[in-house]
Amino acid sequence: MSTQRFFPCEQCGAKLKFNITQGDLKCTYCNHINKITRKYDNLEEQDYNEKIVELELLEDEYDVDIEQKCPNCASVFTQDKDVYSTLCPYCGTAVVNEVSLYRPIKPQGVLPFKVTKKQAQESFSKWIGSHWFSPSKLKNISKDQIALKAIYMPYWTYDTNTHTQYTGRRGDVYYESQRYSVMVNGRRETRVHDVQKISWTRVSGEIYKVFDDVIVSASKSLAHSFDNWDLENLVDYDKAYLSGFESEVYTIDLDDGLQNAKIKMLNAIKQDIRYQIGGDKQEITSLKSDYYDITFKHILLPIYSSSFTFNGKIYHYIINGRDGLIKGERPYSKVKIGFAVLAGICVAVGGYYYLNMM
C-alpha cells in the first residue's frame, strides 16, 4: 500500500479539494477557506552532474503500478504507475501519494491552477471557431460535450553557460546591371535591369551565451506542450495544490530532458551566430558547443487535456491552466482552402495582366 495524504477541513473535517478561484482549499460543505501556506524555500537550482551520479547508484525500483486503498470509503484500486495524484474511482475522494514511491527526483515547485474549468471550456469554444479555414459545422460542437481533464504535468528547467566555436560564410548582396532585348510594337528595344549577386566571405568565431530556465516537458503522454509560463510565480511544491487533480510523474528522465533542452538552446545559439556573422545572408558550416555549470529544477505545471471527434477522427488539444492558451489539432475545410487558393490565383493573374497592360 502507498503512503497517502488527504486534506480534512479545519472546521468540519470534510475531505478538501483545491479551489482554483480561491487559490486555497475550500470546503464544499461548510464553505470554510483552509489556507495553504505559500513557501519559496525549495526553488533553488540543483547541480545536474551531481544528480546524474546520484541517480546512477539507484536501482530501477519505480516501474510498477501502485495499489491504493481509499482513505474515505476503503475501496481498493490500482493506480497507474505514472500518476500519483488522483481521485478515488468509487467515491471521488482526492488522494495524493508520496512522489518518492514513483521517482527518485521530487518536484520542487508548482504553478497552481488559475484558469477554472468553465473558463477553459470558454477558451475552447473561441479557439475552435476562430480560424477562417475551420469547417462551419465545427462551431456546433458544444463546450458541454468536451470532457476536460485537469492535470499537473511534470517539466524540467535548465540553466547553463555555453561556449560555441563556429565556422561559416557571410553573404553580402550587390547588383550588376545587365542588358536585355524586348519587342515593343514590332520593334526591338534594349533595356537594362539589375541582377542580384552575392559575395561570400569565409568567417569563424565564438559565442558565449547564458541560458536561464530553459523549459522542456518531462512527460511522454502529451503530444503538445507549452514553452511560455509565468515561472516567476512558482511556489514550493505542496501536495495541497494537487488535491482534487491528477498529477503525473516524469517519464522523460533528467538526462533526456537536457538533450531536448539543448535542441532549443542550439536554435538560440545559431540565431546569435548569424547576428555576429552579419551581412545580408549567413551560412553556418560547423559549430561545437560546450555546456558547463548545468543546473536544473523539477516542477509541476497545470494543464487541461481533452479531445473531440469530428467526422470520425479524434483531435487532441491542451489548455494552459494559467492563461487559457490552447495548443492542439483541429480540422480544416478543404472547400474553404480551395476557394482561397482559387482567389489567390485570380489575384495573381489579374495583377500580371494589369502590369503588362501598363
What's the confidence (pLDDT) of residue 1?
Answer: 36
What SS3 state is found at 293?
strand
For the chain, the first-to-last Cα distance in angstroms comes to 84
What's the confidence (pLDDT) of residue 230?
Answer: 95
- Rounded CA-CA distance 215/272 in Å is 20
> Nearest-CA neighbor of 158 among 251, 234, 45?
45
What's the confidence (pLDDT) of residue 309?
Answer: 72
Percent of the chain at pLDDT > 90 equals 42
Half-sphere exposure at residue 31, Cβ-oriented, CA atoms within 13 angstroms:
0
Query: Could you report the per-residue pLDDT of 169-217, keeping only the tens digit for each?
Result: 999 999 999 888 888 888 888 888 899 999 999 999 999 999 999 999 9
Matching residue, cell 569563424? 204
Q: What is the mean pLDDT of residues 14-28?
A: 87
Q: What is the mean pLDDT of residues 233-243?
A: 92
Distances (CA, A) of 205 to 162, 282, 285: 14, 13, 12
Q: All 3 cell numbers of residue 336?
A: 474553404
What's the confidence (pLDDT) of residue 130?
Answer: 63
Look at residue 58 and tell me whether its pLDDT is greater than 80: no
- Rounded CA-CA distance 50/60 in Å is 18
Stated as kind and residue range, the H or E segment containing 309 is strand 281-310
What's the confidence (pLDDT) of residue 108?
Answer: 95
Mean predicted lDDT score pLDDT of the chain: 81
Query: Could you report the per-residue pLDDT of 278-319, keeping only the tens digit for each?
Result: 999 999 999 999 999 999 999 999 999 887 776 777 778 899
Query: Could you report the per-residue pLDDT of 319-335, keeping only the tens digit for each?
Result: 999 999 998 876 554 54
> Nearest-CA neighbor of 3 among 105, 77, 101?
101
Answer with the residue of higher pLDDT: 102 or 317.
317
Percent of the chain at pLDDT > 70 equals 73
State the pLDDT confidence band at 337, using cuts at 50, 70 and 90.
Answer: very low
Query: Could you report the per-residue pLDDT of 68-95, keeping only the tens digit for each?
Result: 555 665 555 455 555 655 666 545 555 6
pTM of the model: 0.78
Q: Where are the domains of the chain?
A: 4-156+216-249+300-334
What's the confidence (pLDDT) of residue 135?
Answer: 53
What's the confidence (pLDDT) of residue 268?
Answer: 97
What's the confidence (pLDDT) of residue 94?
Answer: 59
Q: What is the mean pLDDT of residues 142-166?
A: 86
Distances (CA, A) of 229 to 23, 257, 333: 18, 17, 32
CB 265 within 8 A of CB 214: yes
- Rounded CA-CA distance 92/86 in Å is 9
Query: Reduced to 3 DSSP states, what percent helix, strand and coil does the chain have, rounded to the nearest 5?
Result: 25, 40, 35
